[in-house]
Amino acid sequence: MNAQKSRTRWTVLAATALAAALTVGAGAAPALAAPPASASASAAASASASVSASPFALPPLDPAAIRSALDRRPAADVSAGFLRVTGSAGRFEGSSAEAGMAVDPQGRFRIGSISKVFTATVVLQLAAEGRIDLDGSVKRYLPDFPYEAVTVGQLLNHTSGLPGGSNDAWGDGTTGWFEQHKFDWPSVEGIVASMAGQPLTFTPGTEQQYLGMNTFVAGLVVEKVTGHRYADELRDRIIRPLGLHDTSLPDGDDPRLRHPASHPYLTVPDADGGSHRVDVTEQSPWPWAEGGMISSAPDLERFMTALFRGRLLPPAQQEKLFTVPDVPMAAGKSYCPDGKACMSMGLVRLAAGGIEAWGKTGSRPGSTSGVFATRDLSRTVVYSVDPTSLNGAETPYALGLLATAYGLGAKG
């Protein structure tokens, strides 16, 4: 796997695979979308109508079906996983793990690109305060930013057209590379500077392409506008007010994960044809505002509840979370059904079977997770699975858990 594929795996695959419409194969394990690269969008398209969810649209929660989906964990690809469902339409909590591995559904895990929802919320708060103009050029806040046509709002909804920069921080996509580099701490400024000399991939505002670089830049805008570290703004604006005791954005040189939900590992091939395990519970949180946060299922549920109920944003800015731009996906990208945008300023929209859910997925080596909720909060779903590789083999399992939790999965 080359560096570009590695970058796709860590910053794009898990964060956008769920953006396709929910589909279920007859007689097969439930699925929301086929894995990227080999996906067929045609089956998803028929289920892509956007319908506001209500308690009446949700099928009854089926604990037996969810338990069955958990038990279909592919042992070679996923060492452990858990799912938490809450809301007025029913509750469930369960886990699955290989022998000898303990799972604490209340424990902490690395949430990867779910961090982007927190970052978008902070930016939208600053917009509500009149300190950031979402329609204003990023260059207004970051004078050295080379793309004058890109606005702050376009960073949030991934319509900026920014290039991808260098792959140096992401490596070659192999577990062996990550074993050697899991404590590396590349600088945010260096990551953003790696775009230098690269042209925009499309005219800003005309297409949508999910890209982690947008959120790195958004985090720098927050720091420039406030004069404070992004982590401090995150703490003071969201974490402390909501009492999110399991949620944090560690400094880049702090690899610790206290009270983990599990101890994920990666399988690393040996030269003689064998393999060994590498515990990746501890690793650098260098993706920062783009994907470096730690949280827990209860905390993510509390955050989404506050966000959807308007506790964090005034109505005008909150509505930005539920407004998807009317533009196509960038050429050659198939993250969303029918080739149309499915990402708002912070969330991904999923729709099928009369159900609409909003949320985000995330991935770091050893952890793939997601949080989704109907807008009326009748059902909120948080899951986390521990992949043993970096090739996305866990994706069908994770998508199956989410589909079954929303009553769209086949009963196994």
pLDDT in tens, 265-313: 999 999 999 999 999 999 999 999 999 999 999 999 999 999 999 999 9
Please report whether residue 373 resides in a domain: yes
Question: Which of the residue ranges 38-42, 338-342, 353-357 has the most confident prediction, judged by mean pLDDT?
Answer: 338-342
CA-to-CA distance for 167 and 23, rounded, in angstroms?
33
pLDDT for the residue numbered 50: 31
- Is 216 a residue whose pLDDT tops 80? yes
CA-to-CA distance for 237 and 128, rounded, in angstroms?
13
Q: How many CB atoms lie within 10 A of CB 380?
A: 25
CATH number at residue 398: 3.40.710.10
- Is 20 a residue whose pLDDT tops 90? no
- Are 214 and 156 contacting, i.e. CB atoms less than 8 angstroms apart? yes
pLDDT for the residue numbered 47: 29
What Å distances lie between residue 47 and 20, 57, 334, 351, CA to CA? Answer: 9, 15, 15, 7
Mapping DSSP to helix (H, G, I), strand (E, B) and coil, where does residue 86 land?
A: strand
Average pLDDT over residues 359-363: 97
Average pLDDT over residues 203-223: 98
pLDDT for the residue numbered 385: 98
Please report whether residue 168 resides in a domain: yes
The tokens for 282 are 């501890």
395-405 and 63-71 helices, crossing angle to 10°: 170
CA-to-CA distance for 168 and 190, rounded, in angstroms?
10
Please report whether residue 410 resides in a domain: no
Please report whether residue 412 resides in a domain: no
Number of domains comprising the chain: 1
Report the mean per-residue pLDDT for the chain: 87
Mapping DSSP to helix (H, G, I), strand (E, B) and coil, where does residue 18 land?
A: helix
pLDDT digit string (tens) for 50-60? 333 344 468 99
Please report whether residue 200 resides in a domain: yes
Domain range for 168: 3-405
pLDDT for the residue numbered 409: 66
Q: What are residue 85's phi and psi, to 5 degrees?
A: -120, 130
Please report whether residue 297 resides in a domain: yes
Per the listing, tokens 């396709």 go with 20
115-128 and 297-308 helices, crossing angle to 10°: 30
Please report whether residue 311 resides in a domain: yes
The larger pLDDT score, comparing residue 316 to residue 49, is at 316
Q: What is the pTM of this model?
A: 0.89
Q: How many CB atoms lie within 10 A of CB 390?
A: 24
DSSP H/E element including 306: helix 297-308
- Are 354 and 34 contacting, i.e. CB atoms less than 8 angstroms apart? no
CA-to-CA distance for 60 and 379, rounded, in angstroms?
10
Please report whether residue 411 resides in a domain: no
pLDDT for the residue numbered 223: 98
Biggest CA pair distance of the chain: 61
